[in-house]
Structure 1
């Protein structure tokens, strides 16, 4: 317990309860380093941070949050007719057809239905840092289930897979397109490939502080290396991947693998999701309502074979309504392994992001406190709309 936790930053009038909830979260966890930012109808209304050494400008390892950025690029390319959801992946990337994958469509790939969660023997750290190397190995891999018959989180590889489709079709990497079309135009402090000059702002991710009881529970619940979960999280490699080491490796941050190598701030991610659905800085929303209706709602019903989560994915994005029922059915976004969570909710007009520096216990994707923080933001946004209606 840290009753003296200090919260910095500001909230817009009407969003005071969000600050109170954030302060309560900070007080409940010793040495919490976190940021919280939110937009409502294109206007930033929450900008908060807490923790020793953490500022609004601190760059944090945000892991799978990068999947949201990568698939925002994919959504734009589909919206523009550059990519077709029901085209076979092998049409764009012929080598992908090996080992019975020739019939897999881009839609199935985005829904995590391809069964291509990892490779025999696992990946090296160098391979995990480089989407091109990942794609080359994955092209020849036999799926771990028959494509289309089930779905499971392609944790370390989905960004390399969809990114290779983008590269084959456009001649540009998903990282390059994100930089040129989304990050730079909006000045987003969120990166798929962190420039060297920004390295001084990076705060290394910290491991969870576990009690002996929690350590025992974690050890008892650890997946077998050859299980679907173990393969998806590269525990079948020698040595198995350690997420703290992975994120704190400069090569990972420099190359920005789209599945797990993103770095940024809550401000940057909240602004990205706001721009996806709202007018921001005088610019029209990046996505049309029709594209949001295609990519956002849950497309995978039933149980995720890797994580056990229910109704987990839209197209590329995690279906947020399944996790946070107070959001609209087409809310879309992505969590990050350290407990981060970011999303766009077209119904409320909210772009939300919560980032953490330290792993918590049992936080696979979005940490538990996101439920209370996101709910407070959405309530305040609804009240603000009601007063201006």
Structure 2
């Protein structure tokens, strides 16, 4: 049996048992699970060789949750306007007929700017400023607003350039000053070098799983291939990408987050709950706006149905136990994180090794989330 470390509050013993069952079902699993309820941490668990509660993992697109939280805060304080043209902040963006494209359309993954011909270089993927410069002149892959599709490697850079033009600071700086530092969160968009000893390298899929994944890989020139930079030469290797110090140092806001489950759950708890006398980061009106569905039907890139709220991934589609306004974001390695305003749950699960079929969070999240909701309902 796998050794499980950490604690759960009274009434959440079922969650520990479910986490242990997940660990027993996958040999060598390195993972963390943290849950807050109404701002109080009630689950703090980890398992696996080389993994502790303090270990920092590559969390990939979990970064998008932080990016959209920053956008929501700037909309909330009036710095950004959802109906304003992106080009009103960023004039170069008007190229190729994008002059009327609004911030709302951009945030909702409806802009069609999923990549570029020939793909991005590794240096561009690591640096949001370089990504934004390439994308400013890019023609959309579909008519903006006519459909939606996951902007996998680029949405954080696009939002980030708007933030930089509007505030004079990078998105990463705004996140650090307004969210991470005040709450002492171990979730970073730009990992300080001093914390590198706590980083545990990503482990790729097992060889048998990798062969299956390669057999089902999308064509490089498909919308999914373009969005995931498979049209580059060579195609992006996600494990190697995250295990590069430059990526961790720069913290690209689509794909380069680093942290642990405690930090990630803490971010979502801060968004919806009072913590240490601080009011929730998101006011009710902002929360309602950003947790309202903005697209229905299939995602043009991933095929997932009803994928997004305003920027954040819709969670009730994946986990029907949650409220319709549950919002968050998964990460490529199989990580999952969200806030459920209805129940007060803030949830985060991290993995060290890639999960086969982990798009949208590793499959074990379904059983873990269900156990968390049952326990929270009894609390």
Please report the TM-score for the alignment, with normalisation by the length of structure 1.
Answer: 0.96
Deviation at 1:288, TM superposition (A): 1.0
Contact 1:333/1:342 (CA < 8 Å) preserved in 2?
yes
Structure 1 residue ranges (4+ consecutive) displaced by more than 4 angstroms after TM superposition: none
2:236 matched to 1:241? yes
Alignment map for 1:29-44 (pairs within 5 Å):
29-44=26-41
Does residue 148 of the first structure (1) align with residue 145 of the second (2)? yes
Root mean square deviation of aligned Cα: 0.9
User: Any conservation in 2 of the 1:36–1:49 contact (CA below 8 Å)?
Assistant: yes
Equivalent of residue 334 in structure 2, options 325, 334, 339: 339
Among 292, 303, 308, which residue is 2:303 paired with?
308
Question: Does the 8 Å contact 1:267/1:353 carry over to 2?
Answer: yes
Corresponding residue number in structure 2 for 1:226: 221
2:38, 2:212 → 1: CA distance? 42
Secondary structure class of the residue paired with 2:371? helix
Q: Report the Cα offset of residue 224 of structure 1.
A: 0.8
- 1:52 is aligned to 2:52: no
Q: CA deviation at 1:298?
A: 2.3
Q: CA deviation at 1:210?
A: 4.1
1:87 and 1:374 map into 2 onto residues whose CA distance is: 37
Q: Does 1:263 align with 2:295?
A: no
How does 1:251-290 map onto structure 2 within 5 Å? Answer: 251-290=246-285
Q: 1:168 aligns with which of 158, 165, 170?
A: 165
Which blocks of at least 5 consecutive residues in structure 1 are unaligned? 385-389
Q: Distance in 2 between matches of 1:108 and 1:207?
A: 34
Please give the alpha-carbon distance, in whole angstroms, between the structure 2 residues aligned to 1:15 and 1:52. 24
Q: Give the corresponding residue for 2:6.
A: 9
Match of 2:109 in 1: 112
Moved more, 294-303 or 115-124: 294-303
Give how far 1:217 is off.
Answer: 3.3
Tell me the distance in 2 between the aligned counterparts of 1:14 and 1:268: 22
Deviation at 1:120, TM superposition (A): 1.1
TM superposition shift of 1:365: 2.4
Give the corresponding residue for 1:80: 77
Cα–Cα, structure 1 residues 360 and 210, in superposed 2: closer, same or farther, change >3 Å?
farther
Structure 1: how far apart are the matches of 2:21 and 2:261? 18
Length, aligned pairs only: 379
TM-score by length of 2: 0.99
Is the 1:209–1:360 Cα contact (8 Å) retained in structure 2? no
Aligned partners of 2:213, 2:57: CA distance in 1, in Å? 24
Which structure 2 residue ranges, 5 or more long, are not aligned?
A: none
2:131 aligned partner:
134
The answer as to whether partners of 2:357 and 2:363 remain within 8 angstroms in 1 is: no
Could you give the per-residue CA deviations for residues 91-126 of structure 1, whole angstroms, max 9, x where no partner exists?
Answer: 111110101111211111011000000011111111
Contact 1:210 1:361 in 2 (8 A): no
Report deviation, 1:190: 0.4
Deviation at 1:136, TM superposition (A): 0.3
SS in 1 for 2:328: strand
Q: Deviations over 1:208-243 (max 9, x none)?
A: 1143xx455323311111110000000111111000
Aligned residue number for residue 180 of structure 1: 177
Deviation at 1:297, TM superposition (A): 3.0
**Which whole-Å deviations, capped at 9, do the CAs of 1:291-321 have from their partners, x for residues lacking one?**
1111113221000011110100111110111
- CA deviation vs aligned residue, 1:16-75 (integer Å, no higher than 9, x gap): 000000000000001100000000011100000000010000000000000001110110
1:297–1:332 CA contact under 8 A, matched in 2: no
User: Of 194, 197, 219, which residue of structure 1 is paired with 2:194?
Assistant: 197
SS of 1:323's partner is coil
1:163-221 Cα offsets, whole Å, 9 max, x none, are 1111111111110000001000000000000000000000000001143xx45532331
